[in-house]
């Protein structure tokens, strides 16, 4: 990840954490909504690791013509893994919020 892209990502994560912490002030101070941006980032890291496993172990590229199909498969895999991960994280956080 380039330094400019990483800087933008870090700034947007910090801004989301500040907004989440300010919006959770009041009577019902809940921790789960405050860490939501971190949970989304964590799911993204896990999805990245799973996609990397597929890229390095299952889709070995032996010719230049195999690069584009492998990249498309990686895009599909990362989208599916991230979607499932976010759905599970949302289900967990909504259950956790109802028990507070």
pLDDT digits (tens, 9 = 90+) for 32-45: 777 888 888 889 99
The CA distance from 87 to 85, in Å, is 5
* Mean per-residue pLDDT over the chain, rounded: 82
C-beta separation of 82 from 47 below 8 A? yes
* Structural domain harbouring 89: 3-98
pLDDT over 60 at 1, yes or no = no
Average pLDDT of 58-62? 82
Model pTM above 0.85: no
**Tokens of residue 72, six digits:** 């498309």
Question: Domains in the chain: how many in total?
Answer: 1
Q: 53 or 7: which carries more pLDDT confidence?
A: 53
- The helices-and-strands tally (H runs, E runs) of the chain is 4, 0
């Amino acid at each position: 990840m380039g330094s400019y892209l990483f800087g933008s990502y870090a700034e947007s994560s910090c801004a989301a954490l500040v907004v989440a912490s300010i919006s959770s002030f009041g009577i019902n101070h809940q921790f789960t909504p405050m860490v939501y941006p971190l949970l989304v980032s964590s799911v993204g890291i896990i999805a990245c690791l799973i996609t990397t496993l597929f890229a390095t172990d299952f889709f070995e590229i032996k010719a230049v013509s195999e690069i584009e199909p492998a990249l498309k498969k990686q895009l599909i895999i990362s989208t599916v893994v991230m979607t499932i991960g976010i759905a599970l994280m949302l289900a967990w956080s909504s259950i956790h919020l109802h028990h507070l």
